[in-house]
């Protein structure tokens, strides 16, 4: 039986007087306990290190390590164990010192068995109570962390799309002006202008940077619905084909093989194709980037009663453990300035949760990565 629910397991009885100890042990056994016995402090500590002990009934007066020192050693190494001290009736001060050192309580000898049984039961109750408290604390902190994470992503999302909107206008103006300047500088009378080359280079840099900034705002705004999103029948396989078509050049350059593991007729859902296309695009983009020449990408889908589950799996470089917690953060990228914005997965995360789905990632360094998306089928 699971020790946790067995109220009377893990009891240790420590006393150097053999006769007294065995008599008490016998009585406790009659009342349903199964006490382990030790005749001194050292033995007691040895047993605790070996067995899973929850409650110790400990004699204070023993040769060798004293009861109080044994108690201190127990509480230091195993704070969850509850210790009931047995003291001589003239040595009340021992009991008080024991309480100060963390004992659950003390009883004076001669011990009345019912009294002892009561104390032991109370000690077990205390342990269960502490455990429940601990579990609640852990549960709450887990929940809080999850809430903080989602909240952080949501508010970052709102902020960044706001900024993206604001930046798009000046970007367009810069781009237009750069184009205008380019036009002027390529006019025939400009051939005489000695700084022409430098100016041209400058304009090219402006255009390149505008392009990158545009890529960022475009990705950030990519998940903002252009119009009220329209749900319709979405064929996943068709969307995969469409997206692969857009990536044809990269797939050809790297000679990437695509494996299909798509359940026939089990890839249709009632959802927003625009958003799902964006999800697939961003994930495929990453997979293509992650694999070496001749890499393999596996696309799979299956269904459960309520959901469609699809996976995009690559045999690429994998994601280091320390990065797994960050990949969905906006602007987290391990790619170069030209290659990455760090927004792809942030947007994917946002879209998937907007569609009431779930995303999971499983990655092995140098072996590959698998993103698993679960979306509600949406059909009744
Ligand atoms: N399939 C993958 N294999 C390996 N690493 C990946 C994969 N997908 C994402 N990553 C890691 O997550 C980071 C963030 O991805 P993403 O948000 O799409 O931004 P970006 O692709 O612009 O860097 C990438 O820079 C990369 O380090
Ligand atoms: Mg990406």
Give 85-119 pLDDT, tens digit per residue: 998 766 678 888 899 999 999 998 888 999 999 99
Could you say which ligand is closest to the alpha carbon of residue 365?
1
Domain boundary among 222, 251, 272: 222
Report the separation in Å between the CA atom of 282 and the middle of ligand 1, taken as the mean of its atom positions. Answer: 9
User: What domain count does the chain have?
Assistant: 3
Tell me the Cα Rg of the chain.
35
pLDDT value of residue 166: 82
Q: Which of 222, 240, 263 is the last residue of a domain?
A: 222
The residue segments making up the domain with residue 211 are 149-222
Protein residue closest via CA to atom 25 of ligand 1: 333
Which residues is 369 bridged to in the sheet?
Answer: 314, 363
**Same domain as 265, residue 202:** no
Q: Is residue 214 part of a domain?
A: yes
Residue 148 pLDDT greater than 70, yes or no: no
Q: Is the pLDDT of residue 33 over 70?
A: yes
| Residues within 6 Å of ligand 1 by CB | 282, 286-287, 290, 314, 316-319, 327, 332-335, 340-346, 369
- Pair 199, 299 in one domain: no
- 327: domain CATH number is 3.30.565.10
Supply the pLDDT for residue 1: 38
Percent of the chain's residues with pLDDT above 90: 58
Please check the confidence at residue 6 and state whether its pLDDT lies above 70: no
If one residue of 218, 297, 333, 363 were mutated to test the ligand 1 pocket, choosing by the most ligand atoms within 8 A of its CB, it would be 333
Q: What are phi and psi of 26, to 5 degrees?
A: -60, -45
Closest residue by CA, ligand 1 atom 12? 327
User: Residue 151: what pLDDT?
Assistant: 64
**306 belongs to a structural domain:** yes
In percent, how much of the chain has pLDDT > 70?
91
Give the ligand 1 atom nearest the CA of 339: 22
Global pTM reads 0.56
Is cis: bond before 157, omega within 30 of 0? no
pLDDT in tens, 283-313: 999 999 999 999 999 999 998 888 999 999 9
Note the pLDDT of residue 44: 96
CATH of the domain at 105: 3.40.50.2300
Task: Check if the beta carbon of residue 165 is closer than 8 Å to that of residue 218.
Answer: no
| Ligand that lies nearest to the alpha carbon of residue 319, given by its number in the listed order | 1
Mean pLDDT of 331-357: 88
Flag whether 292 is in a domain: yes
User: For ligand 1, atom 9, which residue shows the shortest CA distance?
Assistant: 286
Q: Output the CA 232–ligand 1 centroid distance in Å.
A: 30
Q: Quick check: 243 and 277 in contact, CB under 8 A?
A: yes
The pLDDT of residue 295 is: 97
Question: Would you report the helix, strand and coil content of the chain in percent, each value rounded to 5?
Answer: 55, 20, 30
- The answer to whether 185 and 196 have CB atoms below 8 angstroms apart is yes
Expressed in angstroms and rounded, the spacing between residue 219 Cα and the centre of ligand 2 is 10
Which of 43-47, 215-219, 319-323, 358-362 has the lowest average pLDDT? 215-219
- In tens, the pLDDT along 229-285 reads 678 899 999 999 988 988 899 999 999 999 999 877 778 899 988 889 889 989 999
Residue 212 sits in the same domain as residue 256: no
Asked if residue 21 belongs to a domain, the reply is yes
Residues 239, 216, single domain; the answer is: no
Mean pLDDT of all residues in 346-351: 88
Q: Which ligand is nearest to the CA of 369?
A: 1
* For the CA of 342, the nearest atom of ligand 1: 19
């Amino acid at each position: 039986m699971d020790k946790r629910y067995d109220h009377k397991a893990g009891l240790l009885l420590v006393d150097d007087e053999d006769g007294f100890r065995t008599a008490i042990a016998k009585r406790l056994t009659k009342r349903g306990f199964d006490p382990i016995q030790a005749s001194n402090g050292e033995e007691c500590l040895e047993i605790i290190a070996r067995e899973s002990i929850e409650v110790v009934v400990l004699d204070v007066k023993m040769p060798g390590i004293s009861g109080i020192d044994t108690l201190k050693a127990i509480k230091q190494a195993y704070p969850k164990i509850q210790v009931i001290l047995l003291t001589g009736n003239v040595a009340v001060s021992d009991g008080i010192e024991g309480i100060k050192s963390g004992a659950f309580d003390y009883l004076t000898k001669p011990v009345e068995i019912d009294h002892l049984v009561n104390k032991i039961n109370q000690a077990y109750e205390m342990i269960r109570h502490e455990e429940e408290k601990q579990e609640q604390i852990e549960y709450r902190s887990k929940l809080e962390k999850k809430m903080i994470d989602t909240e952080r992503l949501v508010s970052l999302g709102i902020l960044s799309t706001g900024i993206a909107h604001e930046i798009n206008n000046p970007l367009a103006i810069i781009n237009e002006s750069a184009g205008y300047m380019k036009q002027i500088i390529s006019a025939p009378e400009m051939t005489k202008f000695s700084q022409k080359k430098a100016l041209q280079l400058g304009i090219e840099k402006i255009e390149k940077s505008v392009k990158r900034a545009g890529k960022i705002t475009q990705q950030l705004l990519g998940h903002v619905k252009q119009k009220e999103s329209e749900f319709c029948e979405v064929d996943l396989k068709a969307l995969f084909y469409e997206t692969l078509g857009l990536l044809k050049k990269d797939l050809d350059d790297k000679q990437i093989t695509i494996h299909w593991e798509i359940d026939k007729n089990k890839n249709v859902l009632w959802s927003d194709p625009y958003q799902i296309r964006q999800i697939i695009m961003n994930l495929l983009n990453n997979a293509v980037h992650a694999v070496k020449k001749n890499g393999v990408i596996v696309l799979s889908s299956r269904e459960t009663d309520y959901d469609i589950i699809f996976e995009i799996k690559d045999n690429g470089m994998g994601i280091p453990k320390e990065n797994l917690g960050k990949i969905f953060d906006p602007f987290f990228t391990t790619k170069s300035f030209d290659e990455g914005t760090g927004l792809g997965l942030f947007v994917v995360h946002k879209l998937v949760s907007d569609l009431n789905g779930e995303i999971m990632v499983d990655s092995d360094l140098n072996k590959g990565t698998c993103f698993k998306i679960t979306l509600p089928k949406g059909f009744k």
